[in-house]
A and B are shown apart, each in its own frame.
Chain A
Amino acid sequence: MTKAHPWMANSVQGIKDEMMAALGVDNVDQLFAQIPADHLTSRPFDLPPQLASEVELARHLDDLLSKNANAADNLCFLGAGAWPHYVPAICDEVASRSEWVTSVFGSPTSDHGRNQAWFEFCAQIGALVEMDFVGLPVYSWGCAIGHAVRMASRTTGRQKVAVPAAMDPERLSVLRNYCEPAEMASHIEIVEIAVGPDGRIDRDDLAAKLDETVAALYFETPSCHGVIEADPAGLCAAATAAGAEAIVGVDPLSLGVLAAPGSYGATIAVGPTQPLGIHMNCGGGVGGFIASPDEERYAREYPTLNISITETVAEGEYGFGLTLFHQSSYGSRDKGKDWTGNSVYLWAVANAVYMSAMGPEGFREIGNLILARARHAAESIDAIDGCSVDLSRPFFKEFVVQFDAADVAKVNQALLADGIFGGKDITGEPGVVGNAALFCVTEIHTEADIERLCVALREAVQ
């Protein structure tokens, strides 16, 4: 190093000399004597040249990232796990504060503000899902499902989970890893329940498969195809009547207009956190929550870090500390509940800001707006020759577009030429007939955007 590096305060020769003098060594290599000689690498490091000048580094990064096209300059109708929503400016303002961007963990007193923000994330999720116990978020919705299913396996002592046959392939793949291969003694078998042409779980098939060996029924409303389950209470009751947990996956952004899982008998609720004020970030904005009643049966099975409001020694002062820490992997290693680690806690702060700014009316309004815009888009697309949407399905935010003959990949290529990211190609996925795409319409899409999509679609399917 010829110059002191801007990120390394002691990279000044004089300081190094001073510290080495304090140790009585004249060469820093002497300090590495613990590493046996035959462990040291002999091959030099062939790495690209150092870009220590910020102006050069910025140019390099900007040049690379400018090769991406984005959902701001183009019209994006992709969802399926990462959704284009509006991120209020205050979410970015708060989430970019250095205090929490750079913090590690601290103590309940020294990092009090961050702990309170985490609690408020949990408190507001609890208000949305109407459940009293909420853990700190996990990596993603799929991971939340995985942990919830494992929790259910522990509460019931059973090793089977029933899921809809039409499930998002990414979330299902994540769940499969959580359930372990059949060779493992603690393997949890995944049983698929048929999904009818209405996009809902087939009641007869469910009745046939729910028995005393099933730990949990997992279903989503809206489903991975956007379908609102008309009778979620009936599904939950069927699960609990069989002694199984009723795990429901919900889009938190729908909960101003759709019933809270806690109100209709869900015993565990899970869902994504990205819709609550987080950018898509090429999939790097995802996160998941887990909620349940505040009963020891559930609370003592959480793998997450959990934060509780409590008192301090000063009269009337709140503090926020970890509860049930011992059952985490930090407290009990391999005897703990699954595992925890760094998750998406910075996003939880942005989620908390989002929920507080939205309030009950904001959630109701955005819910209605998404219902209306998605319906309008679906009706407009259904009116195009060669495209159809099953308008008898009640849906939220996402819906399936069926193509009579057109190949989805080709349609999307044509749309791309018009600056439009078409829906996800779901041709061949379970619960999908023929050529189909999953379109996502949210509060960011104007009626003019939908019109532009329809013009382009009309051309593309010709």
Chain B
Amino acid sequence: MVEKEHMKIVIVGHVDHGKSTLIGRLLYDTGSLPPDKVEEVKKTCEALGRDMEFGFILDHLQEEREQGITIDTAQIFFNTDKRDYVIIDAPGHVEFIKNMITGASQAEAAILIIKAEEGLQEQTKRHAYILSMLGLKQLIVAVNVFDFDNFTQEKFNQLNDEIVDFLGKIDLKPSYVIPISAKLGDNIANKSEKIDWYSGDTVLNSLDTFALTKRNTDKGLRFPIQDAYKVEDKRIFAGRVESGVINKDDEVVVLPANTKTTIASVEKFLEEPVKAEAGESIGITTKDPLFIERGNVVCKEDDMPKVTDTIKANVFWMSKQDFDADESITLKLATQEVTANIEKIERRMNSSTLEEIQRDDNLLKNNEVGVMVIKTNEPVIVDNFNYVPELGRFVFERDNITSAGGIITNIELEKI
């Protein structure tokens, strides 16, 4: 059976700008909603003299999920001819950011919805900032038109300029800016007849043009070493292949020492494989007798992670005890463990209100996100979170308790 590809997307925007209507529309127009519920809501809306509201159906689905009636977890599905889509949803900002940073869920593309009549509001900007923080590059801005009579191409162009200008400042570049009506379904799955001056793609078509995150096996090799064993006269280095493929006779580089060697064998309990790919726990032996220890990462020369002692990261603090930027803390990234000190906190945000924190201190409190420059006592081997998440994500531990999750999204800024 060929598995249909699927993409994880996230939809964000001001609470009143039509997010749930858009989700409802995407589901409705792709035939993903239970028809009997649609009919029931339609009829009741009519009976009450209201317009059809998809929000009720979404709430209903959510409720069924909470009661465990449907098997799916907190995710909503729809599909196009090209692929399946999963909308990642979370009950609130805190959960959403936490899930993204800790790896419970990771979006590959985003839709930012903006009400045409209101434009860029503070809340819209904060949501955009989250997308920027997560390093999302595939972005659709959906300009949701409520009142067609007063919406002209000129207004759209003006808003488009404002949006692109603002997003540019926070390092986001929308792939598409699309005028839509979430309520009536214009330019979602079907082209709008009312917005006849817009000749671009619909939301669904645009989503279909986005690239899927590479499968882990298609990326460069990352084999972080967990342990070294001596079995008879062989030294075996054990770990989990996080990405890429490793073969017998491959030329590899061991970081951080940058030592080159050749794979003598790939070992698996009770098996004698010649290769292993992402997801497999294996052991290797090398042709040269090398000193390799826990925390080292085996890679290949054509695709290497970064070795650095300075990283810029977004850190989500999730401990009731405050973090003081002056304290040293343990940083764990894959199998690496180092001591970290904070060089500076550039910006802090309350993950619930998404407001920037203006406090006159150097603390990060529970559920706050800090953009910080971290200095490690030894070099660490890192990747961009959006390339190899396993090496782009870390935790802070204090007294052996995980206190924060962090992601590295802008690796170009790093220096040794």
**Real complex partners, A and B?**
no
